[in-house]
Amino acid sequence: MVLADLGRKLNAALSSLNRASVVDEKVLDALLKEVCAALLETDVNVKLVASLRQKVKSKVKTALEGGADKGKEVNRKNIVQKAIFDELVGLVDPGVEPYKPKKGQPNVIMAVGLQGNGKTTTCTKLAVYYQKRGFKSCIVCADTFRAGAFDQTRQSATKAKVAYFGSYTETDPVAIAAQGVAKFKKERFEVIIVDTSGRHKQEAELFEEMVQIGEAVKPNMTVMILDASIGQAAEAQARAFKDSADFGAIIVTKMDGHAKGGGAISAVAATKTPIIFLGVGEHLYDLEKFTPQPFISKLLGLGDVQGLMEHIQDLAHQNPDKQKEMAKKLEEGKLSIRDWREQIQNVMNMGPLSKITSMIPGLPQELLQGSDEEAGGRMKRMIYITDSMTAAELDSDGSPFMDFGKDGKPVGLTWRVTRVARGSGTSVREVEELLCQYRMMANMAKQAGGKDGWLQAAKKMQ
């Protein structure tokens, strides 16, 4: 993903802060210069960048004048980091909550946007996303302008095993949309996605058609599909659409291929419309849920515990009893190696690994590098390691692998680590790393206790 470049640059800037022995105005200015340059490179609007710089400076100044540093350099660093983190979140946060589809009722989602932006592809991705989460999902193709639009929907929906509706003979898109939605409502579908046309002879006709389809199907949410490559021009395009057909949310596509993605996201936030997903590739699963704070957290390599927890909760429909049991364990702050492995396995079933693993804080960055296959291979090694543990070890909190000193603090690793490394065909270092990562997750669970606590713990980490 091209945004990874931005993440790396921001990370490098923040790391230089960690290395600085004193944090004075000069260091802060140099840091802000790097951060701002990285943002400008991804096409964030100059005014937004200038305002970010100003806000960070004044926040840091106010905090330090209030005596928040208490003479400690580490506190000053924390203040600067937090101010930058918060302002980056502010840059992509429109401050508006999007509509959330509800189970047991029809949720009509109408997709609008210019042709070529990735609308049809995104409709299928959305249907798959909700289907995976237990919603009975389908697509209605109401694009009669473009020859072959229905064929494209039919092919991708068939591949994705999603129900679809359209017509080769009917030329009125409003009629098709109304028929399709009525049919699927009757059949108790829960997420009904209406794909509309993206081009007309006249722009005014396109907008008029959108309004008419909207009136016919009464969507719970209209989503605009926007191509990241237009960068900050996204603001003007979003406003043009909003003036005609009011929409509740935006999906920015092609984030994988374009360096201007950051500009598109911040420009959309400026229109006070929530972005709900990012399209990050051409495949069915290349759709990432977007929430401002976790997005920035992930961008900076801090993980996304909130996203991870949501993923896990989304799985609840597949095995409700198991998930209830897990929720109880989390509430009690008890998480064994076995539980952790189960969660990783669950999450691995949810979609491409590179998307999931970046949500897990503390996973070494090397694990995420390379293709999905490579990352998957590394994750599988982690599972092999746990496969070589005994039942008692798996049910433990990792202590059988530790030697403890008289003061109760761990002083080294036990012979069990070598045994597991041998048994799993891995190395002692890999086993040690896995134990480290598990401990980090378990500690967070313990500190936090319960679902909301987890989120707080995630915030604390940031």
Q: Is residue 118 part of the contact set for ligand GDP (CB under 6 A)?
A: yes
Output the smallest distance, CB 146 to ligand GDP, in A. Answer: 7
Cβ distance to ligand GDP smaller for residue 111 or 441? 111
CA distances in angstroms from 447 to 328, 342, 398, 414, listed in the order given: 15, 21, 17, 26
Q: Is residue 120 part of the contact set for ligand GDP (CB under 6 A)?
A: yes
90, 94, 134, 257: residue in contact with ligand GDP (rule CB under 6 A): 257
Q: Is residue 288 part of the contact set for ligand GDP (CB under 6 A)?
A: no
Cβ distance to ligand GDP smaller for residue 257 or 423? 257
Do 226 and 251 meet the contact criterion of CB atoms below 8 Å apart?
yes
Closest residue by Cα to residue 255 from 237, 217, 229, 218: 229
Cβ distance to ligand GDP smaller for residue 124 or 297? 124
Alpha-carbon gap, residue 42 to 52, rounded angstroms: 15
Q: Is residue 279 part of the contact set for ligand GDP (CB under 6 A)?
A: yes
69, 87, 190, 286: residue in contact with ligand GDP (rule CB under 6 A): 286
Output the smallest distance, CB 44 to ligand GDP, in A. Answer: 20
Q: Is residue 376 part of the contact set for ligand GDP (CB under 6 A)?
A: no
- Looking at 4-12, 16-24, 108-116, 235-243, which segment touches ligand GDP (CB under 6 A)? 108-116
- Give the torsion through C-alpha atoms of 170, 176, 179, 180, to 10 deg: 120
Q: Which residue's structure tokens are 């109408």?
A: 110
Total residues binding ligand GDP (CB under 6 A): 18
Cβ distance to ligand GDP smaller for residue 254 or 289? 254
For 266, counting Cβ atoms within 10 Å of its Cβ (0-12 exposed, 13-18 middle, 19+ buried), the class is: buried
> CB-based contacts of 259: which residues, under 8 Å, 6+ apart?
2, 5, 41, 42, 43
Q: Is residue 229 part of the contact set for ligand GDP (CB under 6 A)?
A: no
Do 76 and 64 meet the contact criterion of CB atoms below 8 Å apart?
yes
Q: Is residue 151 part of the contact set for ligand GDP (CB under 6 A)?
A: no
Cβ distance to ligand GDP smaller for residue 261 or 361? 261
DSSP class of residue 413 equals E
How many degrees, rounded to 5, is the angle at CA 309 between CA 7 and CA 97?
75
Q: Is residue 196 part of the contact set for ligand GDP (CB under 6 A)?
A: no
Q: Is residue 209 part of the contact set for ligand GDP (CB under 6 A)?
A: no
Alpha-carbon gap, residue 441 to 436, rounded angstroms: 9
Residue numbers at the binding site for ligand GDP (CB under 6 A): 113, 115-121, 198, 253-254, 256-257, 279-282, 286
